[in-house]
Homo-oligomer: A and B are copies of this chain.
Amino acid sequence: MLLPLSERTKNLISKLENFMDDFVYPNEQLFDQQIKEMENRWTIPSIIEELKEKAKQAGLWNLFVPREYGEGLSNYEYAHLCEIMGRSLLAPELFNCNAPDTGNMEVLMKYGNDEQKKQWLDPLLEGNIRSCFTMTEPQVASSDATNIQSHIVRDGDEYVINAKKWWSTGAVDTRCEIAIFMGKTDPTGPRHEQQSMVLVPMNTPGVKIIRPLTVFGYDHAPHGHAEIHFENVRVPITNLLYKEGKGFEIAQARLGPGRIHHCMRAIGAAERALELLCKRASGRVAFGSPLAEKGVIREIIAESRIEIEQARLLTLHAANKMDQEGAKSARKEIAMIKIVAPRVSLNVIDRAIQVFGGAGVSEDFPLAAHWANARTLRIVDGPDQVHLRDIGRLELRNY
């Protein structure tokens, strides 16, 4: 890769790869089995807690914490780790590096006051509780943030919240204790100053988890994606994050690093799929020779390698630009990887599924689950169309 990595980062990469080999891949099937056998699908299987403990001991914990809040890694450095974690759907949580908690922790680090940090950030950093982020709404096209209809109305020392939200990832998890809630405090204000963010403990009266949603048939237990209704939910005004009217700004700030993480994980998933594809092709015989010796299989392997290399370089480039010049300056690059990485990941995984045949769409290999995951990336944080529009507009600014 172009820019050299620090010794510390190389060391973390090596440790992380070993951890994946020793503890993650061998336990993927066990995780699925434990989930199936749980009485309550939304509680955590024991293997997760065991492996979290091991990861802490191995010094592979909270790797995402940005440099600005401690002795963390740069985005460029962390991106390399993120790719490795993305190879298994199981992995990110083991290192306390899973969405949406990482984004929520970053928000708390950057915009939370001391009291908020103590109450919510600390246990999140410990991995003792989980959190969710409630922004998307079922009744409007939420890619246009100004469409948001949720109300946050001040009443004395309290905010009164009424809203219907969905796709609140992690909210079904029984360990989820806190939601970062986005709604409008000033529906008639300037377009990007109407919104605010408020901390809402999940056990506040009126917070109702309506149902878990599925993604291509997967419920993603134990975390899940919830439809949540907020009915006259009251929280003290001290639960406001930062300032009123800053919801959009916080949301934007949350997105930058989050997109790097999503994209590098997607690339990790693609790399894993290509590895599985190559192994399968080497071992299966049809019409007289191993699949790996057939020209059409070699071409899809080559196309996959080409796509992955380019997506990785672009994502690392975006990460580095964000490190050097800030998220705003890297806006075009970040929009580009949001298009490219999921697309490449879907392509490669789909090719692997095709080579695996029926096994590819089943639970016997992680391909179908990775595919469903990657497919949602073309929607979350704004659909492809919104990002392409942005890139086009930024490009045209020069003319």
Contacts and interface: CB of A to CB of B under 8 A. Distances in A.
Count this chain's copies in the assembly. 4
A32 B142 CA distance: 27
A378 interface: yes
B278 A215 contact: no
Given A279-B399, A302-B391, 8 more contacts: A2-B3, A141-B286, A141-B357, A214-B217, A214-B362, A297-B392, A302-B336, A310-B340
A379 B360 contact: yes
Interface of A: 1-3, 136, 138, 140-144, 147, 166-167, 213-219, 274, 278-279, 281-282, 284-287, 291-292, 294-303, 305-306, 309-311, 313-314, 316-317, 320, 332-333, 336, 339-340, 353-354, 357-363, 368-369, 371-372, 375-376, 378-380, 383-385, 387-393, 395-396, 398-399
A2, A320, A383, A392 pick with most chain B CB within 10 angstroms: A392
Contact of A216 (B143, B216, B299, B385): B216
13 contacts: A136-B358, A147-B286, A214-B217, A217-B368, A295-B385, A297-B385, A298-B389, A301-B396, A302-B339, A302-B387, A302-B388, A306-B391, A361-B379
A329 to B, nearest CB: 15
A111 B111 CA distance: 65
B305 A389 contact: no
B295 A389 contact: yes
A340 B362 CA distance: 23
A374 B289 CA distance: 29
A233 B238 CA distance: 71
Given A141-B285, A388-B302, A278 B358 contact: no
A376 B359 CA distance: 11
